[in-house]
């Protein structure tokens, strides 16, 4: 910056057709930058090249796209291990590009990459939790991915690796619990995509009780490129299943007891008699004669389970002509 100013930037979708006639392809996101005139003098674009490739002359450049002048290419002022630095005079759309011939036809070097993990916690209606695995070039930040996965939690990990464009990779989870499923089931291609929305390369589904998932990523030649034991963080506000079941059972018993308290003494005696007529009776003869309302509720829920206990209650109350209580139940 040459002076203090308000600068705003965001990423937009590349139109690669503009680059094809000049033999260039995207090497990073396309940025839309706005700022007061003359306030910006340099921009440092993050790149994903490894050290051995940086010496290739003309490999990296920065494209400037404007409505007035169309495409223009800026030669780097300096290329560091992590950034390409260019001088600028005016602002609009800027993006880092590769020379396609020099990068992907003459050479097949890997690019500096990273693996991002996003954990989608289990929902009450499903029996598994998901782990999304992204294989991305290093200059795609986790913040760009996180925008589309706000309902997931980013898992920090040792993410750096080296991957090759169009190479196919497989993912395995050795020692994972039974029921673990990996999608896709075969290999997935490492695609150098720089856009607005990023889809996971792999999806891992594991049972809700799983706390750790071992992950290994290999080339199809069986060469290991990345390995990590992902620990799935629990929601601190989540109630353990055992406690949840106990709580639901306790709440059901309280509701049934409240309804039975509406019965007169003779009606409660009839209620117990009807329970004794069931093929799968929950009361003993002694409980029929002397059992309290609390004892009957405990036996009803314990013997039949929550759902069936509710159905037994409804059927019995209907036989007794107490449909008013059925509606309450």
Could you tell me if 119 and 225 lie in one domain?
Answer: yes
Could you tell me if 62 and 22 lie in one domain?
Answer: yes
Half-sphere exposure of 243 (CA within 13 A, CB side): 4
Could you tell me if 13 and 97 lie in one domain?
Answer: yes
Angle at 35 between CA 32 and CA 48, to 5 degrees: 40
Could you tell me if 78 and 125 lie in one domain?
Answer: no
Angle at 116 between CA 113 and CA 119, to 5 degrees: 170
Domain coverage including residue 305: 241-328
Could you tell me if 100 and 119 lie in one domain?
Answer: no
Q: What is the dihedral of CA 88, 89, 92, 94, to 10 degrees?
A: -10
Spell out the per-residue pLDDT of the chain, length 329, in tens. 999 999 998 898 998 888 999 999 999 999 999 987 789 999 999 999 998 888 888 899 999 998 877 889 999 999 999 999 999 988 889 999 999 888 888 778 899 999 999 998 877 666 789 999 999 999 999 988 998 888 899 999 999 999 999 999 999 999 888 889 999 999 999 988 898 889 999 999 998 888 899 999 999 889 999 999 999 876 555 545 444 455 556 778 888 888 888 888 889 899 899 888 888 788 888 888 888 888 888 888 888 888 888 888 898 888 888 888 887 77
* pTM for the whole structure: 0.67
Contact 155, 100 (CB under 8 A): no
Question: If 0-12 CB within 10 Å is exposed, 13-18 middle and 19+ buried, where does residue 102 land?
Answer: middle
Could you tell me if 134 and 42 lie in one domain?
Answer: no
Could you tell me if 173 and 68 lie in one domain?
Answer: no
The answer to whether residue 226 is domain-embedded is: yes
Count of structural domains within the chain: 3
């Amino acid at each position: 910056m040459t002076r203090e100013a308000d600068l705003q930037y965001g990423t937009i979708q590349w139109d690669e057709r503009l680059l094809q006639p000049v033999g260039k392809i995207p090497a990073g996101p396309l940025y839309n930058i706005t700022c007061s005139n003359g306030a910006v003098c340099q921009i440092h674009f993050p790149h994903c090249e490894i050290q051995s490739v940086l010496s290739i002359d003309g490999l990296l450049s920065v494209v400037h796209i404007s409505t007035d002048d169309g495409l223009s290419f800026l030669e780097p002022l300096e290329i560091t291990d992590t950034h390409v630095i260019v001088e600028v005079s005016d602002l609009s759309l800027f993006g880092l590009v590769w020379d396609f011939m020099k990068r992907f036809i003459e050479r097949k070097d890997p690019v500096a990459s990273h693996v991002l993990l996003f954990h989608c916690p289990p929902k009450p209606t499903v029996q598994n939790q998901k782990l999304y695995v992204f294989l991305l070039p290093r200059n795609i930040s986790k913040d760009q991915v996180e925008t589309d996965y706000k309902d997931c939690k980013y898992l920090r990990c040792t993410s750096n690796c080296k991957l090759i464009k169009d190479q196919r990779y497989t993912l395995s989870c050795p020692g994972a619990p039974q029921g673990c499923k990996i999608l896709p089931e075969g290999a997935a291609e490492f695609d150098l995509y720089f856009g607005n929305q990023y889809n996971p390369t792999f999806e891992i589904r594991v049972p809700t009780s799983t706390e750790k998932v071992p992950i290994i990523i290999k080339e199809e030649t069986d060469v290991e490129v990345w390995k990590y034991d992902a620990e799935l963080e629990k929601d601190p506000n989540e109630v353990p299943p055992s406690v949840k079941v106990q709580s639901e059972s306790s709440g059901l018993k309280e509701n049934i007891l409240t309804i039975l308290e509406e019965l007169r003494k003779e009606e409660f005696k009839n209620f117990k008699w009807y329970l004794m007529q069931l093929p799968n009776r929950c009361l003993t003869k002694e409980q029929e004669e002397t059992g309290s309302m609390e004892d009957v509720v405990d036996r009803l829920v314990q013997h039949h389970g929550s759902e069936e206990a509710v159905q037994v209650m409804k059927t019995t109350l209907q036989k007794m002509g107490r449909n008013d209580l059925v509606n309450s139940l």
